[in-house]
Amino acid sequence: MMKTCIKLFSFLACMLAADVGLAEGAPVMDPALREKAGRAVDAGLHYLRLQQTEQGDYSNSVGITALALRGFLESHRGYNEGDGAFITRPVNFILNHVNDDGSISETNQNRSYNTAVAVVALAATNNPAYDEIIRNAQNFLKGLQVDTDEGYSSDHKYYGGIGYGSDERPDMSNAYLALEALAKSKVARDDPVWEKALYFMTRSQNNSETNNQEWAGTDGGFIYAPGFSPHGVLDSYGGMTHAGLITLLFAGVDKMDPRVQAAYDWIRDNYTLEENPGAPDKQGLFFYYNVFAKSMLAFGEPTVTDTSGVSHNWRNDIAAKLISLQLEDGSWVNQDSPRWWEGNPHLCTARAVIALDQALRTDSL
């Protein structure tokens, strides 16, 4: 009980400090850094435009193509289909891979991932011509959710999760992306998909106060799946903790909920942009940068006060870090670890641009 009260007091203090900063009229982002970040986005998008094939794809992948397209559509330039072939071609590439079951993918192995990011990109066009395709894709993603239809009761550790679409085991990464797609395409908060998802989210969190799994620790962060991590230990790490935080918010969980507070406390205790904290050898670094910016925007506070009492403007920090890592041709790539496709500059550049797009925004979820 004392531990919970201390966390609550710390959380409230952080919120008060953020409110004071806003009341004093402090800029959300340093103006000079904002200008540099805008130029970095422009350079990244120019690189992507040059890399696009005549068919409109990147790396012959629906997923990477959709991420690149999202980078254009959500950028400060406000690109849309009226701007020409560099937007309409990737849209058509995505549409050409719509399948009868509602999925959007060129492969059976990554159907959930590809469909999820394709839905976000199509929704970002704001074109009603794609509404039926989006609805069918929503139904496909909902159909992948592990529930009683597959014989799983609500007390099973996998209940409410979503996996790759060909792998029967759900995971936090695919669940977060699928639920982001449902949120961005405006699936109502009272849809059963959210309540079921919270079972899986809760059981993937190292928070024994809310998670009844025997393996659950007390640091408040998230791992890849209940009782499993690709790093071989069940320690929380940055990419999944930010994915967990934003997914809780997508599902309508209040910021004062103990699961949200615990995740945010882990982020405060492990605040860094030098690595994907908790993951070895900078694995998944650009996935981390991408979901870091998304979750911080969704959380809605301009600063993060770490557990040492140091205040961080997350927008300034992510912008400065990504600017420092951008290559001369405008691209980004994970030069420390190619694991999970991060040796692919198309993927890393798209993720970096999306992260900067988030930082340049002043709204929230």
User: Does the pLDDT value for residue 165 go beyond 70?
Assistant: yes
**What is the overall mean pLDDT for the chain?**
92
Q: Residue ranges of the domains in the chain?
A: 2-360
Burial environment of residue 48 by CB neighbours within 10 A (0 to 12, 13 to 18, 19 or more) = buried
Question: Do 269 and 7 meet the contact criterion of CB atoms below 8 Å apart?
Answer: no
Helix H or strand E segment including 131: helix 131-144
Enumerate residues 6+ apart whose C-beta is below 8 A from 336.
281, 282, 285
User: Does the pLDDT value for residue 109 go beyond 90?
Assistant: no
Burial environment of residue 363 by CB neighbours within 10 A (0 to 12, 13 to 18, 19 or more) = exposed
Query: Mean pLDDT throughout 100-112?
Result: 94
Q: How far is CA 117 from the centre of its chain?
A: 10
pLDDT given at position 175 = 97
pLDDT bracket for residue 234 (50, 70, 90): confident
pLDDT given at position 138 = 98
Query: Mean pLDDT throughout 172-198?
Result: 97
pLDDT given at position 23 = 33
For 211-266, give the DSSP string.
---TT--SS--B-SBTTB-TTSS----HHHHHHHHHHHHHTT--TTSHHHHHHHHH
Question: Do 197 and 156 meet the contact criterion of CB atoms below 8 Å apart?
Answer: no
Residues 287-304 pLDDT 10s:
999 999 999 999 999 999
Q: At the topology level of CATH, where does 2-360 sit? A: Glycosyltransferase (1.50.10)
User: Does the pLDDT value for residue 156 go beyond 60?
Assistant: yes
Lowest average pLDDT, out of 58-72, 158-172, 208-222, goes to 158-172
Residue 103 and residue 96: Cα distance in Å, rounded? Answer: 11
Query: Mean pLDDT throughout 182-190?
Result: 97
DSSP state of 274: S
Query: Mean pLDDT throughout 190-218?
Result: 97
Query: Mean pLDDT throughout 120-126?
Result: 98
pLDDT given at position 8 = 45
Q: Residue 186: which region, alpha, beta or left (left: phi > 0; alpha: psi -120 to 50)? A: left
pLDDT given at position 363 = 77
Residues 2-27 pLDDT 10s:
344 444 444 444 443 443 333 344 56
User: Does the pLDDT value for residue 364 go beyond 70?
Assistant: no
User: Does the pLDDT value for residue 1 go beyond 90?
Assistant: no
Burial environment of residue 303 by CB neighbours within 10 A (0 to 12, 13 to 18, 19 or more) = buried
Query: Mean pLDDT throughout 197-204?
Result: 98
Q: Which of 129, 247, 117, 124 is nearest to 181 (CA)?
A: 117
What is the percentage of the chain residues whose pLDDT exceeds 90? 86
pLDDT bracket for residue 365 (50, 70, 90): low
pLDDT given at position 12 = 45
Higher pLDDT, 15 or 116: 116
DSSP state of 74: T
Question: Which three-class secondary structure state does DSSP give residue 343?
Answer: coil
